[in-house]
Amino acid sequence: MTFARLSADGSTVIHESDNWQGRFPVTDLPRWIAFYKRLRDRKGGRYRASYADDVAALEAIRRRLSAAQNRNDRETERTT
C-alpha cells in the first residue's frame, strides 16, 4: 500500500510505502502525478496494479491542497 501526506509545514509531500519513502516540494506535485500516471498506463495498462495506489494517493493530496486553497480564497473574499 502506498500513502502520501504533507509535512508539518505543508511545503513537502511525503510519498511512502512499506519499503521506501520519497519527499518532494509541493510545487512538484503535478509532475509526480504525471510521472506515476505514465508508469501506470504504459504498455496498455499492464502496470496499473503496481502504480494505481501511487496515483490515487498523490491525487488525494492535490484535492486536499485545492480544497484548502479554495477555503483561503473564500476567506480573502469575505474580508475584502
pLDDT tens per residue across span 21-76: 999 999 999 999 999 999 999 999 999 999 999 999 999 999 999 998 887 777 77
In this predicted structure, what is the pLDDT of residue 37? 97
pLDDT level of residue 12 (50, 70, 90 thresholds): very high
Cell triple for residue 31? 509532475
Taking the C-alpha atoms of residue 80 and residue 73, their distance in angstroms, rounded to an integer, is 11
In this predicted structure, what is the pLDDT of residue 66? 92
**Domains: count for the chain:** 1
Residue pair 6/61 in contact (Cβ under 8 Å)? The answer is yes
Domain of 69, in residue numbers: 3-79
Taking the C-alpha atoms of residue 39 and residue 2, their distance in angstroms, rounded to an integer, is 15
In this predicted structure, what is the pLDDT of residue 68? 85
Cell triple for residue 8? 508539518
pLDDT at 11 over 80: yes
